[in-house]
Amino acid sequence: MKTINSCILLVLLLAVPLAAQNRFVVEPYLQSPTMQSMKVMWETSLPSRSVLFLAEAKHNTLQPEFNEIGTEAAETTMHSVEIKGLDFGSHYIYQAASVTGTDTLWGPVSRFSLPDYMNEPIVSIVFSDTQKNPSLLGHFATLFAREAPSFLLHTGDLVESGPNKSNWTDQFFYPLRNLLRYYPLYPVLGNHEGNTPFFYQYFDLPEPEWFYTQKKGNALFVFVNTNIDILPGSKQYRLLEKALAESSETWKIVLHHHPVYVSSGYYNSITQKVVTGDPNLPHLRSLYETYGVDLVFNGHIHNYERTMPIFREKIDSERGVVYLTIGGGGGKLDETAITRTWYMAEAKSRHHFIKLRIWDRKLSIDAIDSTGVAFDHWEKVKERDSLAAPLIESSELCFLNKTKVTVTNPNPSGHLVVAVNGNSLATASDKIEIPLQETTLLSAFVKDNLGGESRTATKTFTRLPLNPAQKKTNGKISVEYYEGFFTQLPDFDALDPIRRIESDSLTLDAIRPRAENHWAARFRGRFHVPETNVYRVLLESYDGSRLLIDGREVINNDGMHYEIRMDNYVALEKGEHSFEVHYFDFTRRETLRLWMNPIYHDLIDFNSYLK
């Protein structure tokens, strides 16, 4: 009987659920360092109260004198405590804790410093494309720590699938848990993150977060999101231009995911002419050259490539920009280029990371493979700082009747030299406003009393003819569907469509059923604008596409290619207008997107303008 009762008691005990135990989903890690503060973040499985203990590192002591310096009264699973009032150049020891009722979950005892970059070198580890390889990432973490970096830089594709939380917690943060508690990480978004909320949850970055800058000593680091609009009419381009133009730092370094120059990837094969980089980014070359960028880091292509210093499509050791593709952080490796391009300095297909070192007027990089062996080295020395090019700004790149342009000298000395359509305009001030009523090419540089000159900034401002409104008509969008082995947009008027469809919106989903590959479509319809204005339109497609408004071609995005964005401007009178969108699919994923809005406003889906 006792045996039976004991068995029943055991069954009853096993049936009673045990109280859930709090644990770290993401162990404590560092974020957002300044000259006087640092943030510690972590994530727990249960809502709990955050507590942080801090001690300043001292000599001749075995036990840190911890003080409770940060706490959050509210219970939460995502914890963030800011430590203020710190001294740069000092070292600190910290320990995070989460309190749930009478239980306390303790993080490891860790340390950090706030380097005085004016009196010590900048040492950073730069890596990229770590997705889907946590074992290699954990191995790299050990190699990173040996270099004792001041901070870490990541150029995107931190994870394989941004919306998948376990990719962040198990495949990224866990392998780096014993690294990120000592060194803060500055990332940019890659295409695999997909602008997921997890990126913004786990990283505390300056606004607007998808674009931000950091100044470290005499170096400016600019973090750019090349997954979204960065064409010259975009908000992000203007942020980037302004950050570079107003920088007085000796060194300017830009980080983004996609490559401006690279010799492999992007349809590069033995039968094709080499594509020199991401086709969405070539306009960044002149921007980087104008404002003296020294180094651009990117990932996306899973190998290593360093370019020669490039300036105006030529090798220029003094003025050129060096581009580094560093996509060997863990993803499946890509082969390097079959033939050497004119700008290639070194290329290797191997997993790797970069050690970046800056001290005063010398910058160097070492490419280090997964065995800890350096296989490439490059350095640059600047004898003096150069004058910065002027910043040319206007509320409108394209205008209806008139606009006003401002030219500013960002240097503490020197004077502006401005030319309007090639005609010099005398000025002795650091800022000049120029009214424009016609299409104008404006250029400017800065000259000092010793004869030194900055690089020349150039912009064209275009006066647009107004497209008059058309008569109102009723009806849906007409869609014509064609099949054929198209390698470019066909002459639709010379073909007979297989099927005609009516649709309420501009979307490929309107064409069902359709062939898997090798087909084309023409969309024709009307749209309504609520005010007379200059409108920016942006067309993205994979493969080719074309946009016509009121019978005039506005964007030609033809050809076999992956997702390419192209934009243009059109002046529209309030009322109704006609549009045509042409599209063809050769192979792989079908993509067709169109956005529009008044110039310098955030773009919205073109379908919002349909009536």
**H or E segment and range at residue 201:** helix 197-202
Second-level CATH architecture of 477-609 = Sandwich (2.60)
Task: State the Cα–Cα distance between residues 299 and 349, nearest whole angstrom.
Answer: 13
Confidence (pLDDT) at 428: 79
Tell me how far CA of residue 205 lies from CA of 215, 223, 530, 541, in angstroms.
13, 10, 37, 31
List the structure tokens of 57. Answer: 């590192």
The tens digit of pLDDT for each residue in 38-71 reads 999 999 999 999 999 999 988 877 788 899 987 7
The tens digit of pLDDT for each residue in 123-141 reads 999 999 999 999 999 999 9
Backbone angles phi, psi at 130, to 5 degrees: -95, 10
At residue 270 the predicted structure's pLDDT band, cuts being 50, 70 and 90, is very low
Average pLDDT of every residue of the chain:
93
The amino acid at 465: P
Range 117-125 average pLDDT: 95
The amino acid at 148: A
Confidence (pLDDT) at 101: 87
Tell me how far CA of residue 451 lies from CA of 27, 232, 446, in angstroms.
56, 32, 10
- Of residues 251, 345, 328, 339, the one with CA closest to residue 296: 251
Can you give the length of the chain in residues? 611
Whether residue 286 contacts residue 314, with contact meaning beta carbons closer than 8 Å, is answered with: no
DSSP secondary structure code for residue 264 in this structure: S
Confidence (pLDDT) at 573: 97
Minimum mean pLDDT range among 195-199, 238-242, 336-340, 455-459: 336-340
- Of residues 237, 285, 287, the one with CA closest to residue 603: 237
Given a cut of 60, whether residue 293 has pLDDT beyond it is yes
- Where residue 574 falls (left for φ over 0; alpha for ψ -120 to 50; beta otherwise) is beta
Whether residue 283 contacts residue 318, with contact meaning beta carbons closer than 8 Å, is answered with: no
The tens digit of pLDDT for each residue in 212-235 reads 999 999 999 999 999 999 999 999
The tens digit of pLDDT for each residue in 146-205 reads 999 999 999 999 999 999 999 999 999 999 999 999 999 999 999 999 899 999 999 999
At residue 264 the predicted structure's pLDDT band, cuts being 50, 70 and 90, is confident
CATH superfamily of this structure's domain 391-463: Immunoglobulins (2.60.40.10)
List the structure tokens of 468. Answer: 């008059």
Second-level CATH architecture of 24-113 = Sandwich (2.60)
Q: What totals of helices (H) and strands (E) does the chain contain, helices first?
A: 7, 40
- Of residues 70, 64, 66, the one with CA closest to residue 52: 70
Task: State the Cα–Cα distance between residues 479 and 21, nearest whole angstrom.
Answer: 59
> What does the domain layout of the chain look like in residue ranges?
24-113, 122-381, 391-463, 477-609
Cis peptide bond prior to 530, omega within 30° of 0: no
Backbone angles phi, psi at 147, to 5 degrees: -85, -5
Confidence (pLDDT) at 339: 87
Report the Cα–Cα distance between both ends of the chain, in Å, rounded: 82
339: helix, strand or coil: coil
Confidence (pLDDT) at 268: 43
Minimum mean pLDDT range among 21-25, 336-340, 406-410, 569-573: 336-340
Domain 24-113 shares a fold with domain 122-381: no
Task: State the Cα–Cα distance between residues 44 and 108, nearest whole angstrom.
Answer: 14
The amino acid at 196: T
Q: Which fold has domain 122-381?
A: Purple Acid Phosphatase; chain A, domain 2 (3.60.21)
Confidence (pLDDT) at 9: 43
Whether residue 497 contacts residue 482, with contact meaning beta carbons closer than 8 Å, is answered with: yes
- Where residue 15 falls (left for φ over 0; alpha for ψ -120 to 50; beta otherwise) is alpha
What does pTM read for this prediction? 0.93
